Chains A and B, each alone.
Chain A
Amino acid sequence: MDAVSSSVNSSSSTKPRSRCPPLQDPFLHRKSSRENLDRFIPNRSAMDFDYAHYMLTEGCKETENPAASSPSREAYRKQLAETLNMNRTRILAFKNKPPAPVELIPREFTSPQRSRPTKPRRHIPQTSERTLDAPDLVDDYYLNLLDWGSSNVLSIALGSTVYLWDASNGSTSELVTVDDDIGPVTSVSWAPDGRHIAVGFNNSEVQLWDSTANRLLRTLKGGHRSRVGSLAWNNHILTTGGMDGRIINNDVRVRSPIVETYRGHTQEVCGLKWSASGQQLASGGNDNLLHIWDRSMSSSNSSTQWLHRLEEHTAAVKALAWCPFQGNLLASGGGGGDRCIKFWNTHTGACLNSVDTGSQVCALLWNKNERELLSSHGFTQNQLTLWKYPSMVKMAELTGHTSRVLFMAQSPDGCTVASAAGDETLRFWNVFGVPEAAKAAPKANPEPFPHLNRIR
């Protein structure tokens, strides 16, 4: 189609065009019969009809009656003006650009992990998600006053009272308050069933409570001669560690519960953890010793010899954590004079790695979903540090506590960590990621006891 054919066919285009946009397609035809152009034979290719028409009709219309133009058109014009920077504006920017955000983890360490392409980097919140008051929390490095059970109830001992905090609804209840001649409470530990709880006291007693019925089931006496600062469950065996340096295995089902005594520590036992398989027990003491005990080596009548006696720490060994993805791997942390996290092959007793953290190591927790270790510290930062394993690259430092972070406990889903510190606060950190339904299914067994028996 060209312009000549359109002029012949002019009757079809007599309708006045009121809505021609300013930028027209050049092949649109607008010859109207009212335009007196018949005596003039133009060289059409040399003329800009579109422009001329626009100037004659639309151009003046708009200046005469700007209100008639539609708002969308107004907006279009504005945008056009902005694009072409036609309004009397100068756009300025600083010569110095703001700093680009720094990446938390140096690239050279993340790149080897890139082989798993689908894994997006997890965001680690640096502040605690929730803070609860924990008044009268005993600021004693050698005690174990916090535990998070498999039924999602957190137990914390404040002075002579054990409180239960239900993480699913945030409700608090008091389990027991003891008299001053028994207390204060020196240790709490949930049985793997998440219902029964063992409580150790300053006077060497250990009580077993049913948390749902709020009922005292039995009291273990006579095993220790001084306070019971550490507890660990292995099915129906409750292992207790005392200030007297003794470690006692109690079979809580039987009348005379003491089945074994492990003698190896000369001072207070402050760290006690069974491995996931229930075969090996790690114990740490104020005598700077770390012992690994093997269940199969035990005998009921005489005291048992340790499997390994590890003397590398130079301060009290309280923080102990068995690796969830490697059965014979144990992480241990030393006190103020040592400040090291050490990794052990508990089959051979070999020290695999040692990292100086620069601060007292109060507690250690492994991430159940990732190869990461969380440590809690004292002076000077009172921080929680997240480490990548095995590179031991610091992934995050979580600060907030104003005194040493004495105890840590992990939620059953493995994602949230509770920490209690000498500043008498209990803080919750979403440091191990967010719960995922898909992930949760295969890891439904939160405690390291896959075949749990009821203790009664």
Chain B
Amino acid sequence: MASKTVAKDIITLRGSAAIVSEFFGYAANSILYNRGVYSEESFVKVKKYGLPMLLTQDEDVKKFIANLNSQLSEWLEAGKLQRIVLVIMSKSSGEVLERWNFSIETDGEVVEKGVSKEKSDKEIMREIQAIMRQIASSITYLPCLDEKCVFDVLAYTDTDVAVPFTWIESDPKLIANPQMVKLHSFDTKIHRVDTLVSYKNDEWDEQ
């Protein structure tokens, strides 16, 4: 653990929310790239979390994720966000093929009393890096997405949250009898994010 005197290691609710929403932005980009939802050439490489990360250059996708992130930060800062799910669906049939589930546990004490916690940036980054690596390597076991796919993002919030103007209530878009793989977690001491991917059972393997 880092020493107490280092100011950098103190993490506030606001900072933690920023880390989590930024993480989600990169994770979403990475998933969209690795799962081939958008064409490879619409992504550019950047360095982040000590890894080469890919970011979409498609203006519309960029805007979507940016809007999403600003809303997520707001909810995270209020401690109202329970879960974010990135859903990959078939473009033609709308069938849900994959759900990338990011469960968020917020430290209630921090939200209520506004105290800050201690955890070094480096350590958080290392944990995030492990998740990013897992996302990139997930293509090895996830079934091939042979068809054109689209994605959507669901936010699970507390019920007392007012639905923002640009949002609507959605069904959970679950997959019947899915396969699940749990990925690493990271913890800012304020928000703990557990990552899990569930995907449609590949019936070819079953028979």
* Cross-chain contact B64 with A94 (CB below 8 angstroms): yes
Contacts of B68 in A (CB 8 A): 94
Q: Do most interface residues of chain A lie in helix, strand or loop, or is the interface mixed?
A: loop
Partner of A96, one of B37, B151, B166: B166
A83 to B82, CA, bound (A): 16
Whether the pair A92, B157 counts as a contact (CB closer than 8 A) is yes
Q: Which residues of A contact B155 (CB under 8 A)?
A: 91-93
A126 CB–B CB distance under 8 Å: yes
Q: Answer whether residue A101 sits at the interface, using C-beta atoms and an 8 A cutoff.
A: yes
Which parts of A71-117 form the interface with B (CB within 8 Å)? Answer: 82-83, 85, 88-104
Is B3 part of the binding interface, using a Cβ–Cβ cutoff of 8 Å?
Answer: no
Number of interface residues of A (CB under 8 A): 24
Interface size on B, residues (CB 8 A): 37
Q: Does A214 contact B (CB under 8 A)?
A: no
Are B40 and A98 interface neighbours, CB within 8 A? no
Per the bound structure, the CA–CA distance linking A127 and B52 in Å amounts to: 15
Residues of the A chain whose Cβ atoms lie less than 8 Å from the Cβ of B39: 101-102, 104, 126
Does the CB pair B152–A98 fall under 8 Å?
yes
* Inter-chain contacts of A92 with B (CB < 8 A): 154-157, 161, 163-164, 167-170
Contact B82–A89 (Cβ < 8 Å): yes
* CB-based contact B64/A127 at 8 Å: no
Closest residue of A by beta carbon distance from B167? A92
Q: Is A93 a contact of B64 with CB atoms below 8 Å?
A: no
Given A98-B64, A98-B151, A99-B64: A91 in contact with B41 (beta carbons within 8 A)? no
Q: From residue A81, how far is it (CB to closest CB) to chain B in Å?
A: 11
CB-contacts of A311-350 with B (<8 A): none
Give B139-173 as 1s and 0s: 1 = Cβ < 8 Å from A's Cβ atoms: 00000000011111111111101011011111110
Contact A90 B154 (CB under 8 A): no
Q: Chain B nearest CB: distance from A131 CB in Å? A: 13
Q: B67 contacts the other chain (Cβ, under 8 Å)?
A: yes
Interface string of A176-187 (1 = CB under 8 A from B): 000000000000
B25 CB to nearest chain A CB (Å) = 13
A-contact bits for B169-187, CB 8 A (1 contact / 0 none): 1111010000000000000
Q: By the criterion CB–CB under 8 Å, are B172 and A95 in contact? A: no
The answer to whether A101 touches B156 (Cβ under 8 A) is: no
B159 touches which one: A82, A90, A95, A96 (CB < 8 A)? A90
Residues of the B chain whose Cβ atoms lie less than 8 Å from the Cβ of A435: none
B134 CB, min distance to chain A CBs, angstroms: 22
Whether A125 sits at the interface, judged by CB under 8 Å, is yes
- Asked if A82 and B169 sit within 8 Å, CB to CB, the answer is no
Which residue on B lies nearest to A79, using beta carbons?
A: B174
Residues of B within 8 A of A101 (CB): 37-39, 91, 148-150
Contacts of B60 in A (CB 8 A): 98-99
Chain B residues 59 to 105 lying within 8 A of chain A, measured CB to CB, are: 60-61, 64, 67-68, 82-83, 91
| Docked pose: A32 CA to B82 CA in angstroms | 45
A127-B168 Cα distance, complex, nearest whole Å: 39
B58 at the interface (CB under 8 A from A): yes
B167 to chain A, nearest CB (A): 5
Evaluate contact between A90 and B169: CB separation under 8 angstroms.
yes
**Residues in chain A near residue B152, CB distance under 8 A:** 93-94, 97-98
Cβ of A356 to closest chain B Cβ, rounded Å: 24
Interface residues of A (CB under 8 A from B): 82-83, 85, 88-104, 123, 125-127
Query: What are the 8 A-B residue pairs with the smallest beta carbon separation, nearest first?
Result: A126-B41, A93-B170, A99-B60, A98-B64, A92-B167, A89-B156, A92-B155, A101-B38
Given contacts A88-B159, A89-B156, A94-B166, 4 further A-B contacts (CB under 8 A): A93-B152, A94-B152, A102-B39, A127-B40
